[in-house]
Amino acid sequence: MKLAKCRHHDLQIDIPLFSDIAEEHNRIVGAKTFYKTVQGLYNLALFHQRIGIRIVVHKQTYKRLPQFADYIYHNFPFVAQVAFMQMETTGLAKENFDQLWIDPYDYNTELREAVLLLADRGMKPYIYNAQLCVLPEDIRRYAQQSISDWKDIYIPECEGCVLRGQCGGFFESNRNAHSSHIKKVKHISSDILC
Ligand code: SF4
């Protein structure tokens, strides 16, 4: 209610959720926050606030992405967008690297299913921090250039890639922790990007 009273003309509140299962979310966060977060989402919706959901994809969250997307569709149909975010390896993510890191290529099946499930049902899925050459072609259109300029880099493998202008690149902190499937794209074969 306090937030709504600000009547900000251009505000979106992006809220992280880590699982559709309360115990899983709480285990990953390290605190019992699942139901508080769900209640917060409903409170914001009640006051007509613009809400986004953020899902950091890593070794402990990727397997249930399709079920998670289905849960969001059924329980939070009012959200403006759902962002699937590739992990930035700083802070706690760096400290727990072995427990969290998975090559983004290895969760493409689950990511694709989740993104298309939401898109097919009229919701707005986005993919943040991803590299276009790693993503399946039919979901590249959902990728955003989401990495802030000051920490956005390309690596030597990107030299000569035709998608470099559209691809979001890499976090500086992921210079040595990136997919082993980075490969420059030589031709744009279809209008898969929009
Ligand atoms: S080679 Fe580099 S610039 Fe090209 S799509 Fe892959 S990550 Fe992006």
| DSSP per-residue codes, 137-153 | GGGGGGB---S-GGGEE
Q: What is the pTM of this model?
A: 0.93
Which structural domain, as residue segments, surrounds residue 53? Answer: 2-174
Residues with CB under 6 A from ligand 1: 131-133, 154, 157-158, 161, 163-164, 167, 182, 184-185
Buried-exposed string 92-104: b where 16+ CB fall within 10 A, e elsewhere: ebeeeeeebbbeb
Task: For a ligand 1 pocket test, name from 153, 155, 158 the mutation site with the most ligand atoms within 8 angstroms of its C-beta.
Answer: 158
Q: Which atom of ligand 1 is nearest to the CA of 131?
A: 7
Q: Which atom of ligand 1 is nearest to the CA of 157?
A: 1
Amino acid identity, position 4: A
CA–centroid distance, residue 194 to ligand 1 (Å): 17
Amino acid identity, position 124: K
| Residue 121: DSSP 8-state | T
Number of structural domains in the chain: 1
Residue nearest to atom 3 of ligand 1 (CA): 164
Question: φ and ψ at 126, to 5 degrees?
Answer: -130, 155
Task: For a ligand 1 pocket test, name from 129, 135, 137, 157 the mutation site with the most ligand atoms within 8 angstroms of its C-beta.
Answer: 157
Is 44 within a domain? Answer: yes
The CATH number of whichever domain residue 86 belongs to comes to 3.80.30
Is 58 within a domain? Answer: yes
Is 33 within a domain? Answer: yes
In terms of Cα–Cα distance, which of 77, 59, 60 is closest to 21? 60
> Quick count: other Cβ atoms within 10 Å of Cβ 154?
15
Q: Which residue has the tokens 């397997």?
A: 63
Q: What is the pLDDT along the chain (194 residues), one digit of tens a residue?
A: 899 999 999 999 999 999 999 999 999 999 999 999 999 999 999 999 999 999 999 999 999 999 999 999 999 999 999 999 999 888 888 888 899 999 999 999 999 999 999 999 999 999 999 999 999 999 999 999 888 888 888 999 999 999 998 998 998 888 888 999 999 999 876 555 54
Is 186 within a domain? Answer: no
CA distance 111 to 61: 11
